[in-house]
């Protein structure tokens, strides 16, 4: 009688072998297959530890143990994969025919024990160093400091996260094997061909699941969740009775259609009496115009209402008309709005419009084009109507934007010349790294200037600054209209880019800026995930660091608007008022 197992083995060997689908695995007992799933590659463990230790080095902002544990686990999983691949290549092509490989027992077990012990010791030592680095960063920014004992929890969380990622990868690999085995039994394919088909099927299914189901599902669920928030109102926000504001009884934009951020915007700020008290001169009631997503059924009709509101409130008779492309949710920085109104003593009109329910970081990842289109539409429509006013009496037309609002604002212009021909000045704060115009200016900066503090065209038209002194340096050589980007060295919104995964940026080879740790280094993959984690806490640090620009927007506005007769004493008076207002109103909710 012919042994069917022998025939199967001969047939499998004749058809060819595959690293992913070994005939022995297809026939092996379930316990053997389970052990194959659970066992670890010790070269992978070594590289996982290396990547994890790299992830413990400082990045732009202080991180607590939870964030560090998440990015540490992700990087450890990447390191494990890299190490496993390197180990396989070395064993297959360098050690395969060596007489001394694999080493006999007990040397083989001893080598594995040494690897595990060395990795454990390196992890503990690096966790202690990392806690110290985090305390240094926190001290640099005046933030709350962590403790070494508390930071040790990072190791356990990273182990769980990294293990979960590796387990998912192995489940996908087992699925490939199962599909390949079925194809071999059903269609008698060769093992390499069956494996290739299995990989293709699993890859397609995976990307369909992530892109077609998870991505859309998460996007829809997130949009629904934030649309619920959009229908709520911030504590203390009340419908304005002043006809100079959208949402008032006379407004074409009803109060209940403005959304959470719109209602917050039109209900805040100082009135004429309060401005008079601060500035010591008769003031006007500031105009604030806003359209929410629910104000009209589409973008074009929202813009029609915006223009109607500007005409109704007399916005074109004011000293300054400021167009503010918003962030994803329609947020307008209240400090910036109040600073503009204080500087011009209420002789202002601010106009903004919502284009999304989603916060900036989600809009940035999922729908940046929508921000640019919305910003272009808002600026173009206001500019077209502004041109109809007599040149001698129409207000200065200015643009302000922060975070994703800078990308929305850039969408209206193709070049610096286009900006200067359209508006009388631009202030952009905390621009995302993906901004088209910002990127072109930084890449084409003057020789000798750094990426962290670029100089373009000698600073004659556009400037970059992270402090008041930079804004005022050689101010007489800065032509009008002025364009200013304000950006901190520690702002992850400014420096985050997918390129961080594979390429060392210039800003990490240059001397660190005023609030970036000199201990921060670039590592492949690792730095990308570090700065990605920093994004989630970009505004969670004290004023003057990260994505929290505080009252520096006041200095930026003064530099761009150039109010006549303005002095340093005026600046400090307004700054004191802004700080007092912030202390009275409390943080944003």
For helices 215-230 and 259-267, what crossing angle results, to 10°?
30
pLDDT in the model for residue 513: 86
Mark whether 129 and 13 lie in a shared domain: yes
Residue 539 pLDDT class (50, 70, 90 cuts): confident
Q: Which two tokens stand for residue 203?
A: 């890859």
> Has residue 58 got a pLDDT over 70?
yes
Contact 338, 550 (CB under 8 A): no
Which ranges constitute the DSSP H helices of 94-152? 107-141, 148-151
Residue ending a domain, among 164, 197, 226, is 226
Q: How far apart are CA 134 and CA 148, in angstroms?
A: 10
Q: Which two tokens stand for residue 82?
A: 């890299």
Q: How far apart are CA 339 and CA 570, in angstroms?
A: 12
540 in a structural domain:
no
Residue whose pair of structure tokens reads 């969380």 in the numeric block: 157
pLDDT in the model for residue 226: 62
Mark whether 215 and 279 lie in a shared domain: no
Alpha-carbon dihedral angle through residues 588, 368, 257, 332, given to the nearest 10 degrees: 30
Query: Regarding predicted confidence, which is higher, 507 or 203?
Result: 507
Mark whether 357 and 432 lie in a shared domain: yes
Mark whether 221 and 125 lie in a shared domain: yes
513 in a structural domain:
no
Q: Is residue 159 packed enough to be buried (19+ CB in 10 Å), middle (13-18) or exposed (0-12)? A: middle
Mark whether 128 and 250 lie in a shared domain: no
Residue 587 pLDDT class (50, 70, 90 cuts): very low
Mark whether 157 and 67 lie in a shared domain: yes
Mean pLDDT of the chain: 88
Mark whether 341 and 300 lie in a shared domain: yes
184-241 tens-digit pLDDT: 888 888 888 988 888 899 888 877 776 665 656 666 666 666 666 777 888 989 999 9
526 in a structural domain:
no
Q: How far is CA 309 from CA 248, 380, 408, in A?
A: 11, 16, 21
Q: Select, from the ranges 35-39, 159-163, 246-250, 584-588, the one with the highest average predicted confidence (pLDDT).
A: 246-250
Mark whether 302 and 446 lie in a shared domain: yes
Mark whether 140 and 70 lie in a shared domain: yes
**CA 383: distance to chain centroid?**
30
544 in a structural domain:
no
Instruction: Work out how many domains the chain is built from and give that number.
Output: 2
Q: How far apart are CA 158 and CA 164, in angstroms?
A: 10
pLDDT in the model for residue 64: 86
Residue 99 pLDDT class (50, 70, 90 cuts): confident
> Has residue 154 got a pLDDT over 80?
yes
Cis peptide before 481 (omega within 30 of 0): yes
Q: Cα dihedral sign for 296, 301, 306, 311? A: negative
508 in a structural domain:
no
**CA 174: distance to chain centroid?**
35
Residue whose pair of structure tokens reads 């009008």 in the numeric block: 480
Mark whether 249 and 220 lie in a shared domain: no
60 in a structural domain:
yes
Going by the DSSP 8-state scheme, the letter that residue 146 receives in this structure is P
Q: How far is CA 133 from CA 61, 406, 489, 524, in A?
A: 11, 32, 17, 20
Residues 6+ apart with CB under 8 A from 219: 362, 366
pLDDT in the model for residue 17: 45
> Has residue 546 got a pLDDT over 80?
yes
> Has residue 274 got a pLDDT over 90?
yes
pLDDT in the model for residue 54: 95
In sequence order, what are the beta bridge partners of 587?
A: none
Give the 3-state secondary structure of residue 321.
strand
Which of these ranges, 6-10, 101-105, 147-151, 175-179, has the smallest mean pLDDT? Answer: 6-10
> Has residue 492 got a pLDDT over 90?
yes
> Has residue 553 got a pLDDT over 70?
yes
Q: How far apart are CA 234 and CA 378, in angstroms?
A: 25
236 in a structural domain:
no
CA angle 420, 426, 429 (to 5 degrees): 145
Q: How far apart are CA 547 and CA 60, in angstroms?
A: 11
| Domain containing residue 398 | 242-488+549-585
Mark whether 297 and 361 lie in a shared domain: yes
Mark whether 319 and 351 lie in a shared domain: yes
68 in a structural domain:
yes
Residue 6 pLDDT class (50, 70, 90 cuts): very low
Q: Which two tokens stand for residue 538?
A: 């970009």
């Amino acid at each position: 009688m012919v042994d069917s197992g022998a025939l199967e083995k001969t047939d499998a060997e004749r058809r060819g072998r595959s690293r992913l689908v070994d005939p022995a695995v297809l026939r092996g007992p379930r316990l053997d297959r389970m052990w194959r799933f659970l066992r670890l590659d010790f070269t992978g463990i070594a590289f996982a530890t290396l990547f994890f230790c790299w992830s413990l080095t400082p990045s732009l902002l202080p991180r607590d143990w939870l964030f560090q544990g998440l990015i540490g686990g992700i990087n450890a999983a990447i390191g494990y994969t890299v190490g496993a691949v390197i180990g396989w290549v070395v064993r297959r092509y360098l050690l395969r025919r060596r007489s001394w490989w694999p080493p006999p027992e007990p040397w083989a077990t001893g080598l594995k024990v040494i690897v595990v012990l060395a990795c454990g010791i390196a992890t503990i030592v690096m966790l202690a160093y990392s806690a110290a680095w985090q305390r240094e960063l926190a001290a640099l920014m005046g933030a709350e400091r962590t403790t070494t004992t508390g930071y040790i929890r990072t190791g356990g969380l990273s182990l769980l996260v990294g293990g979960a990622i590796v387990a998912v990868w192995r489940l996908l690999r087992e699925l490939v094997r199962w599909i390949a085995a079925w194809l071999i039994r059903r269609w008698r394919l060769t093992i390499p061909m069956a494996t290739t088909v299995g990989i293709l099927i699993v890859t397609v299914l995976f990307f369909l699941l992530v892109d077609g189901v998870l991505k859309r599902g998460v996007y829809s669920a997130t949009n629904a969740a934030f649309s619920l928030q959009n229908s709520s109102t911030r504590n203390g926000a009340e419908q304005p009775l002043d006809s100079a504001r959208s949402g008032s009884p006379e407004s074409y934009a009803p109060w209940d259609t403005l959304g959470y951020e719109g209602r917050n915007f039109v209900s805040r700020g100082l009135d004429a009496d309060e401005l008079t008290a601060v500035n010591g001169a008769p003031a006007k009631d500031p105009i604030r115009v806003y359209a929410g997503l629910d104000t009209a059924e589409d973008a074009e009709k929202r813009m029609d209402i915006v223009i109607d509101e500007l005409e109704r409130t007399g916005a074109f008779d004011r000293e300054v008309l400021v167009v503010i492309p918003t962030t994803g949710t329609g947020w307008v920085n209240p400090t910036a709005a109040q600073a503009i109104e204080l500087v011009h003593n209420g002789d202002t009109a601010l106009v903004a419009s919502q284009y999304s329910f989603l916060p900036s970081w989600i809009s940035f990842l999922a729908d940046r084009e929508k921000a640019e289109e919305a910003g272009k539409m808002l600026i173009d429509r206001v500019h077209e109507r502004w041109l109809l006013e007599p040149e001698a009496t129409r207000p200065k037309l200015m643009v302000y934007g922060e975070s994703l609002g800078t990308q929305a604002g850039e969408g209206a212009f193709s070049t610096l010349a286009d900006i200067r021909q359209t508006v009388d000045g631009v202030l952009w704060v905390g621009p995302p790294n993906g901004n088209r115009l910002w990127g072109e200016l930084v890449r084409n900066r003057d020789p000798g200037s750094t990426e962290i503090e670029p100089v373009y065209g000698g600073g004659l038209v556009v400037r970059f600054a992270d402090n008041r002194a930079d804004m005022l340096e050689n101010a007489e050589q800065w032509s009008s209209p002025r364009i200013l980007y304000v950006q901190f060295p520690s702002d992850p919104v400014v420096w985050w880019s997918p390129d961080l995964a594979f390429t060392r940026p210039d800003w990490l080879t240059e001397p660190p800026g005023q609030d970036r740790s000199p201990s921060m280094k670039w590592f492949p993959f690792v730095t990308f995930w570090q700065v990605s984690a920093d994004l989630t806490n970009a505004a969670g640090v004290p004023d003057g660091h990260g994505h929290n620009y505080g009252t520096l927007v006041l200095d930026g506005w003064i530099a761009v608007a150039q109010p006549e007769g303005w002095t340093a004493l005026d600046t400090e008076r307004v700054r004191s008022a802004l700080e007092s207002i912030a202390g009275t109103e409390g943080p944003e909710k």
